[in-house]
Structure 1
Amino acid sequence: MMTPDYTHWLDLEPYGMPAGQKTDTLGQALRALTDWHRQQCEPYDRMLKLTTDPEKPVEHLQDIPFIPVRMFKEFDLLSVPKDQVFKTMTSSGTTGQQVSRIFLDRQTASLQSKILARLMTELLGKKRLPMLVIDSPSVLRDRNAFSARGSGILGFSMFGQDVTYALDAEMNLDMIAIDSFLERHAGQPIFLFGFTFMIWQHFYMNLKAMGKRLAIDKGILLHGGGWKKLQDQAVDSAAFNAAMQDCAGIGRVVNYYGMVEQTGSIFMECEAGHLHAPVYADVIVRNPQDFSVAGHREQGVIEVLSMIPRSYPGHALLTEDMGQIEGEDDCPCGRQGKYFSIAGRVAKAEVRGCSDTYE
């Protein structure tokens, strides 16, 4: 049996399909992926036999069987022979925590890159912009940190040019590198990328302590992960965005939601402050008591769906995050499909994330 091929979806507009139409189209892809993974991954098949009714028809997206994201910490789940594994990804984790292990073959890795490129074109346009990474290049040399954090930097760096790191090995601002970069690209749009808490702690707070303001008025900052520590400091999205404007004149700040278990399927924030599900992925919110589907604006556990995972059964995952569907097809930004918000972690869930776990 060959893996399902839905690469023609790359020709679709990422946010141009109404939620109802996408439910039918994406549902076909996910049903085919479920069948593929059941045949190719024995542990996954055993999980579904224990948790699902084989006689129940799979008619809607919410009927696609899901597994908890934590299963990737407990088991090596792969749907291709080990000699076809091209890359092994691991999630970030603090000392002593188990990490997720995600096995990619070349087909899955290629599809991840292509879909991510499609989404980033929506944000940045087709031209690669000068890129300032709010991190240290040492993260790419540290094998303990080279997981979700290092991979995120490398993945997004594909969409930049003259990639420059704003922090040195001690996580201090490298002002020589920053000033030289800004001089080379004065007056140009600039792409900035980093993980939320690290941007706040090592970029904003250091600039504030120095009494320095950078001139990045045409900057587009993409950031994600690490909200737990900022929420503990009473810093919300509005305060974070205002701080970026204050310290560097950055007027466009875009948060995203994503995870290593579904790399490539990222949910980006729009101008109205909502996270959007692109045509290649979707989000369901489930009641934590019985896992029934929650209504709009009813808080529950986030489930993420994606057509990308072929080499591992990660196409329908119950996360450890709480959130709610805010609406569908009617966001003020004009994008179609579901849009949602994240409320925080499930109670007693491990702290995780690229910048949450940085010490």
Structure 2
Amino acid sequence: MIREEMLFRIADDRTFEQAALETFRFQSERCAPYREYLGLIGCDPRQVQSVDDIPFLPIGVFKWREVYCGEERPEIVFTSSATTGMTPSRHPMRSLALYEEAFRTAFRLFYGEPRRLSLYALLPNYLEREGSSLVYMADRLIADCGSGGFYLHDYDRLLRDMAADPKPKILLGVSYALWELAERYAPKLEHTVVMETGGMKGRREELPKEEFHRILCDAFGTEAIHSEYGMAELTSQAYSRGGGIFRTPPWMRVFVRDVNDPFDLHPAGGRGGIDIVDLANRYSCAFIQTEDIGRLLSDGSFSIEGRIDHSEIRGCNLLIQ
């Protein structure tokens, strides 16, 4: 059995493949919804010899079933920010220490030591509900930084605090709140990385990502808008430093599937549904068929282009009880 701390030391394809196969065998036995799904699609785990052959669990199953294989009670259950009328996903997290190791290691990989930075979190819709994995992550990273904080709708206080802070800064914001800040104030932010996470949450019209980022760049006086790609059903995050191109930490990989045949994976350069291997999902399911559509590049990076039509009702029908 792979030790948890070894997940964050994966350094090459061979080690990733070994860890993925071991994780698959562990979860195909211990995670009841995943085990049932494998049986329903006719997959014999003993015949799976490559990560390319591992089936991905439709992400919608997290809405209807307990996707969990820990022996102990989970320390926390993270929930998704479901649109009104939709059922939120639930992700039982056996170990908060494992979650913290995942997001801290990835953050250091992409942005360096937190103590050198200040993190300002403009996350109104997440702060107004319980069970947000994003709020949990931001709270711990703010503590690691030793400066910054959470802000709801008080843009004046946010800008005053940032202007008085001499450290390099990250402004992490939900898209609609960053847009409101840009429209109302158009502040020129010096020594600041602007990082958006998530869509408009029904608050504003959805724009093509390139157009939206251009609006923010013009308003904030920055060359690029960074992005964080994560979700309640994952333990890890991918980051973009601009141009909408995301890169993953070494224990996380992205695949692209045909939107009409979930078992047909496209080669690099292809466009289709996004599948994710997140080995930090040790005690739930590490192999997730998302409802996002995008493109996989030759170096393993990827872009997100939108959502698959009717994604709310696709994929998980076999396991709804």
TM-score class, shorter: 0.7 to 0.9
AA at the equivalent of 2:197: G
1:228 and 1:344 in contact (8 A); partners too: no
Indicate the larger mover: 58-67 or 270-279.
Answer: 270-279
Cα distance per residue 1:268-301 (max 9 Å; x no partner): 1145642123211101111122221113332211
SS at 1:296's partner residue? coil
Match of 1:357 in 2: none
Match of 1:257 in 2: 229
Residue 233 of structure 1: how far off its partner (Å): 4.8
Query: Do residues 50 (structure 1) and 50 (structure 2) align?
Result: no
1:190 and 1:216 in contact (8 A); partners too: no
1:224 pairs, out of 197, 208, 215, with 197
Match of 1:319 in 2: 290
Query: Do residues 341 (structure 1) and 303 (structure 2) align?
Result: yes
Q: 1:257-296 counterparts in 2 under 5 A?
A: 257-263=229-235, 265-271=236-242, 273-290=244-261, 291-296=263-268
1:88 and 1:102 in contact (8 A); partners too: yes
Give the whole-Å Cα distance in 1 for the aligned partners of 2:44 and 2:291.
26
Query: Do residues 135 (structure 1) and 123 (structure 2) align?
Result: yes
Residue 240 of structure 1: how far off its partner (Å): 3.3
Give the whole-Å Cα distance in 1 for the aligned partners of 2:34 and 2:304.
28
AA at the equivalent of 1:193: L
Task: Tell me how many residue pairs correspond in the alignment.
Answer: 311
Unaligned runs of at least 5 residues, structure 2: 314-321
Q: Structure 1's 230 and 345: CA in aligned 2 closer, same or farther, altered over 3 A? A: farther
Q: Structure 1's 79 and 272: CA in aligned 2 closer, same or farther, altered over 3 A? A: same
Q: Structure 1's 257 and 47: CA in aligned 2 closer, same or farther, altered over 3 A? A: same
1:206 pairs, out of 184, 187, 194, with 184
RMSD: 2.8
Give the whole-Å Cα distance in 2 for the aligned partners of 1:259 and 1:156.
17
AA at the equivalent of 2:113: K
Q: Structure 1's 113 and 235: CA in aligned 2 closer, same or farther, altered over 3 A? A: same
SS at 2:297's partner residue? strand
Q: Structure 1's 227 and 94: CA in aligned 2 closer, same or farther, altered over 3 A? A: closer
AA at the equivalent of 1:124: Y
Q: Structure 1's 149 and 11: CA in aligned 2 closer, same or farther, altered over 3 A? A: closer
Match of 1:174 in 2: 155
Residue 135 of structure 1: how far off its partner (Å): 3.1
SS at 1:289's partner residue? coil
Residue 104 of structure 1: how far off its partner (Å): 1.1
2:60 and 2:312 in contact (8 A); partners too: no
2:114 and 2:141 in contact (8 A); partners too: no
Cα distance per residue 1:195-229 (max 9 Å; x no partner): 223311x311222xxxxx43421101222210686
How high is the sequence identity, in percent, across the aligned residues? Answer: 22
2:225 and 2:241 in contact (8 A); partners too: no
Q: Structure 1's 289 and 174: CA in aligned 2 closer, same or farther, altered over 3 A? A: closer
SS at 2:35's partner residue? helix
Q: Structure 1's 274 and 183: CA in aligned 2 closer, same or farther, altered over 3 A? A: closer
Q: 1:71-90 counterparts in 2 under 5 A?
A: 71-81=61-71, 83-90=72-79
1:69 and 1:318 in contact (8 A); partners too: yes
AA at the equivalent of 1:103: P
Q: Structure 1's 48 and 254: CA in aligned 2 closer, same or farther, altered over 3 A? A: same
Query: Do residues 190 (structure 1) and 169 (structure 2) align?
Result: yes
Give the whole-Å Cα distance in 1 for the aligned partners of 2:83 and 2:243.
34
Q: Structure 1's 253 and 156: CA in aligned 2 closer, same or farther, altered over 3 A? A: farther
2:8 and 2:102 in contact (8 A); partners too: yes
1:92 and 1:149 in contact (8 A); partners too: no
Give the whole-Å Cα distance in 2 for the aligned partners of 1:55 and 1:95.
38
Compute the TM-score of the two structures, normalised by the length of structure 2. 0.85
Compute the TM-score of the two structures, normalised by the length of structure 1. 0.77
Residue 146 of structure 1: how far off its partner (Å): 4.2
2:176 and 2:204 in contact (8 A); partners too: no
